Amino acid sequence: MNAYQEIARWRANIERLNAFSDVIDATQREFAQGGIRVERAEPEALRLEGLRVEAPRGRVLIASADASVAAGERVAIAGAAGTGRTTLMRALAGIWPFGAGRIAEPRREHMLFLSQRPYWPIGSLRAAVYYPSASDTFSDERIREALRLFELDALAARLDHEEPWDQKLSAHEQQRLALARVLLQEPGWILLDEATSDLDAATEAKVYRLLTERLPRAALIAVAERPGVLPYLNRRWTLTPDEQGRVALDAA
């Protein structure tokens, strides 16, 4: 009984590793058959060329996509639920190989992808904030400033505490802490897949204002719907299904 929680966490970790292994095997098979080609763009840009996105078993999700994003541009990805917004974002991040066509993208080290549920490494809160950088990359002053901007001041005194942070923090705290990573990392390309969905409208608008002010040269591509964030995204990609359910991307 005393070890119940530890055993439950161990079981959950094993299940995640098994699922991860299955995905790796499926991805390797897909790469062997071709799949979406991801190549480096020089000078840095993001381009979709004849992109078709599929489910792992071959069902076409996005039938046709040709679009581009230049450095510093801000793009909102819009479309009804089920039109493949998250799958498209995963393809842009290079973690969804199923389909065909080509994605030309910047160097991976210049990109930062945030999903709706951010990843938390095991260890201290400091390691979670630094991720994916090394643990001595940022000064405490910079970390405290980033936490303050996202109204997480109370966490500054707990940077060296080791906790299961994915269980200790609420969903909106996790999203704000992940966004603090963005300010610390200062990527040139930011991909946000509903990374602010658990925030209220006012906080979400503040997040986009901070990203715009603090990282004015960064390109930003986001799945975003609320009216309060659209002024910070000057372009729009709309995913629209046809009568057969296949989705086309209209880039404006």
In a structure prediction context, what are the per-residue pLDDT tens digits for the chain, which is 252 residues long? 677 778 888 888 888 888 877 776 665 555 555 799 999 998 999 999 999 999 888 889 999 899 999 999 999 999 988 889 999 999 999 999 999 999 999 999 999 999 999 888 888 888 888 888 876 778 889 999 999 999 999 998 898 888 888 888 899 999 999 999 999 999 999 999 999 999 999 999 999 999 999 999 999 999 988 889 999 999 999 999 888 778 999 997
131-177 pLDDT per residue, tens: 888 767 788 899 999 999 999 999 988 988 888 888 888 999 999 99
Supply the DSSP string of 165-226, one letter for each residue: HHHHS-HHHHHHHHHHHHHHH--SEEEEESTTTTS-HHHHHHHHHHHHHH-TT-EEEEE---
pTM above 0.95, yes or no: no
Q: What is the CA radius of gyration of the chain?
A: 19
How much is the pLDDT for 52? 94
How much is the pLDDT for 225? 83
Q: Parse the chain into domains and list their residue ranges.
A: 112-232
CATH 3.30.70.20 fits 112-232, yes or no: no
How much is the pLDDT for 89? 95
Please give the Cα distance from 63 to 143 (Å, whole number): 43
The percent of residues in the chain predicted with pLDDT above 90, rounded, is 56
How much is the pLDDT for 31? 52
How much is the pLDDT for 130? 84
Token couple for 107: 């160097």
How much is the pLDDT for 188? 96
Please give the Cα distance from 223 to 219 (Å, whole number): 14
Question: Are the C-beta atoms of 88 and 98 separated by less than 8 Å?
Answer: no
Strands 74-79 and 45-54: unpaired
